């Protein structure tokens, strides 16, 4: 028989990408733009009055942190800010649109989308380093919040790294393999058993008619 020391514990983590930021569609990365009014409304639409969480975890960037702290304050929940969940840095591309980058760099942007693993933008964070950073933070919170219901507010790239880890998606396919529009919500279930830790995505719910730029 399974005793209390080895009883299975289930953790639920709701990953929510931030809403639309101010400043339009561009390679935002580590830039710290706040949510637009529309972006805030998108985030409000992504959660429900029936949601029950024990704790909130968020990227330190304003487009994630502000709404996470709002939810935590409204519901009297602890809110933890995790630097390792911040978005990938796009280096010299940050603040620029895809059209501007294409004019400046020719085919480099197409090569990046086709193979981001081997075509790092100038001065940007390599994809392998980004993955290592995100998954390090992810695993630490899995250990710290075992058995809890967690709201995690972060970025499109960050969520792609987590889903790639959970679903076994190869790193080179992780950026183009999953659509994560603004305020998209994905629920991950983690079962910690006597046989090990098992993770699964149990839902993936984009808001209807919400754009899905991949650069923020």
- Find out whether 126 and 174 touch, Cβ atoms under 8 Å: no
| Confidence bin at 207 (pLDDT 50/70/90) | confident
Three-state DSSP state, 21:
strand
Q: Helix 156-167 and helix 127-144: axis angle, to 10°?
A: 70
Question: Which stretches does DSSP call E strand in the chain?
Answer: 9-17, 55-58, 79-81, 149-154, 185-193, 196-205
Region 31-50 average pLDDT? 97
Per-residue pLDDT reduced to its tens digit, 96-149? 999 999 999 888 999 998 899 999 999 999 999 999 999 999 999 999 999 999
- As a CATH number, domain 9-90+125-205 is 3.40.50.1240
| Confidence bin at 212 (pLDDT 50/70/90) | low
DSSP code string of 153-180 = EE-HHHHHHHHHHHHT--GGGTTTSS--
d(CA 38, CA 127): 30
Sequence spans of domains, the chain? 9-90+125-205
């Amino acid at each position: 028989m399974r005793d209390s020391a080895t009883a299975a514990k289930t953790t639920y983590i709701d990953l929510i990408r931030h809403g639309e930021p101010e400043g339009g569609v561009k390679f935002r990365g580590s830039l710290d733009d706040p949510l637009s009014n529309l972006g805030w409304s998108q985030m409000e639409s992504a959660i429900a009055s029936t949601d029950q969480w024990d704790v909130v975890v968020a990227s330190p960037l304003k487009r994630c942190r502000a709404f996470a702290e709002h939810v935590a304050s409204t519901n009297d929940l602890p809110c933890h800010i995790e630097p390792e969940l911040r978005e990938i840095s796009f280096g010299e591309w940050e603040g620029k649109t895809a059209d501007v980058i294409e004019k400046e760099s020719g085919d480099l942007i197409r090569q990046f989308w086709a193979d981001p693993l081997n075509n790092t933008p100038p001065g940007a964070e390599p994809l392998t380093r980004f993955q290592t950073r995100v998954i390090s933070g992810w695993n630490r919170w899995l250990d710290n919040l075992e058995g809890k219901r967690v709201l995690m507010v972060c970025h499109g790239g960050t969520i792609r790294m987590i889903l790639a880890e959970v679903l076994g998606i190869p790193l080179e396919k992780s950026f183009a393999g999953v659509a994560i529009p603004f305020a998209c919500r994905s629920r991950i279930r983690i079962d910690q058993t006597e046989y090990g830790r098992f993770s699964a995505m149990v839902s993936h719910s984009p808001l209807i008619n919400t754009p899905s730029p991949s650069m923020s």
